[in-house]
Structure 1
Amino acid sequence: MKALIIILFLSVTLAVNAQVTEKGKIKIEELPGVIIKRVGTDFSVYIPDNNPDQKVKMVEEKFIAYDLGKDAEGYEEYLVVMEVKNGSLTATYNEQGKLVRVVEQFKNVVLPSEVIYSIYRTYPGWFIVNDSFVYTQEDGDIIKKQYNVKIKKDKETIKLLVSPNGEILKAK
């Protein structure tokens, strides 16, 4: 009987010690949609952007944490505006309290590395002068997500429209 208890104890001990737990950073490619509020049978969906700029992330996190509560009751539309020094996030809710539209506009943000590499590869010798980020959603669908970048070389300037993956959409 002692032998059976010892064997059982050792097998459980060895099984517990055999489990390997690895801790490491999780690489976030795309954040999932965040359900902000359930409205009747419908949901308000907001998809935060994966922008590298900390000010943009901070505003998005504050927006996710914002509780509409009873503020919107009695209004046909309700507008929430969150501003920081270099931009704003504007959200529109309908009369039921469902999130309808979100528009984010920020100037002079930290550009993703894909955007920077694409610009300098396509326009060698040019320098980035100004940039802005525009991100628009309607009913949880991304409508617009782009960077407006102004580059300069000597006395010549060009305005570029660049997607987050670095694809140059338009040059003016």
Structure 2
Amino acid sequence: MKTFIITLLLVSFTNATYSQDIMLTDFENRNPETEGLPGMVIKTNGKVSYVYLTDKHPDAAVRELQKKFVEYSIPKNNGENPIYRLNLENKKGTILAFYSEDQKLISVDEKYKNVKLPNIVMHSILKELPGWVVTEDTYFYSQKNGVVTKKQYKIKIEKENETRTIVVYADGQIKK
């Protein structure tokens, strides 16, 4: 009787553990919060158009600021400055954008501190640097004329009394 009860308990725990893994896998493959933000924004100002590629980032603060940037309406140039500078901020980051005289987007630089890291980045760190713990991170995202020029994380990691700073690209590759 004792063996039967122990076997029954082991089977029930195994089944519960297995179902949790399936739910986690389904959650990782789907990110419902990023579905509202378009992948590419094309704006037309008269005869000039420009492209802004949004980043489907898992952190809500990043998506919130990018949405604010996409919805921003550029005022008409009064002729005083050939370049229009736009600076947007929230609690975790900033977006700095430059527009030409004819309201064409020239470049966008984004910087965020201590954001939620994408699963691929965390997986890469855990795989390549086992035992290390992420203590700080800075996310850089830049584009020029509709082409992404930088998309990387500067991450501070610690293990026991040792501290290192690493750079991880958005695809999970760690810069050596």
TM over 0.5: yes
Q: Superposed, which structure 2 residues align to 1:4-19 within 5 Å? A: none
Aligned to 1:110: 116
**What secondary structure does 1:88 align onto?**
strand
Task: Work out whether residues 73 and 95 of structure 1, in 8 Å CA contact, stay in contact via their aligned partners in 2.
Answer: no
Residue 73 of structure 1: which of 68, 71, 78 is its match? Answer: 78
Structure-2 separation of matches of 1:50 and 1:134? 14
Task: Work out whether residues 34 and 47 of structure 1, in 8 Å CA contact, stay in contact via their aligned partners in 2.
Answer: yes
The TM-score, its normalising length taken from structure 1, stands at: 0.77
Structure-2 separation of matches of 1:151 and 1:122? 12
Percent of pairs with identical residues: 36
The TM-score, its normalising length taken from structure 2, stands at: 0.76
Shift of 1:109: 0.3
Shift of 1:33: 2.0
Structure-1 separation of matches of 2:145 and 2:78? 20
Please tell me whether residue 90 in structure 1 is matched to residue 96 in structure 2.
yes
Q: Superposed, which structure 2 residues align to 1:1-172 within 5 Å? A: 32-40=39-47, 42-70=48-76, 72-74=77-79, 75-170=81-176
**1:153–1:83 CA distance, 2 compared to 1 (3 A):** same
Aligned to 1:19: none
Shift of 1:73: 2.9
User: For 1:44-74, what per-residue CA distance to the aligned partner results, in whole angstroms no more than 9, with x for missing partners?
Assistant: 110000110000000000110000032x331
Structure-1 separation of matches of 2:96 and 2:44? 17
Structure-1 separation of matches of 2:38 and 2:65? 16
**1:85–1:118 CA distance, 2 compared to 1 (3 A):** same
Computing the radius of gyration from Cα coordinates, the structure with the larger value is: 1
Task: Work out whether residues 81 and 88 of structure 1, in 8 Å CA contact, stay in contact via their aligned partners in 2.
Answer: yes
**What secondary structure does 1:73 align onto?**
coil
Aligned length: 143
CA RMSD, aligned part only? 1.9
Aligned to 2:26: none
Q: Which runs of 4+ in 1 moved over 3 A?
A: 25-28
Shift of 1:92: 0.3
Task: Work out whether residues 110 and 140 of structure 2, in 8 Å CA contact, stay in contact via their aligned partners in 1.
Answer: yes
Structure-1 separation of matches of 2:71 and 2:142? 19
Residue 153 of structure 1 aligns to which amino acid in structure 2? K
Structure-2 separation of matches of 1:60 and 1:155? 37
Which structure's residues are more often helix, by fraction?
2
Shift of 1:38: 3.1
Structure-2 separation of matches of 1:132 and 1:60? 16
Shift of 1:162: 0.5
Structure-1 separation of matches of 2:161 and 2:174? 22
**What secondary structure does 1:125 align onto?**
coil
Residue 112 of structure 2 aligns to which amino acid in structure 1? F
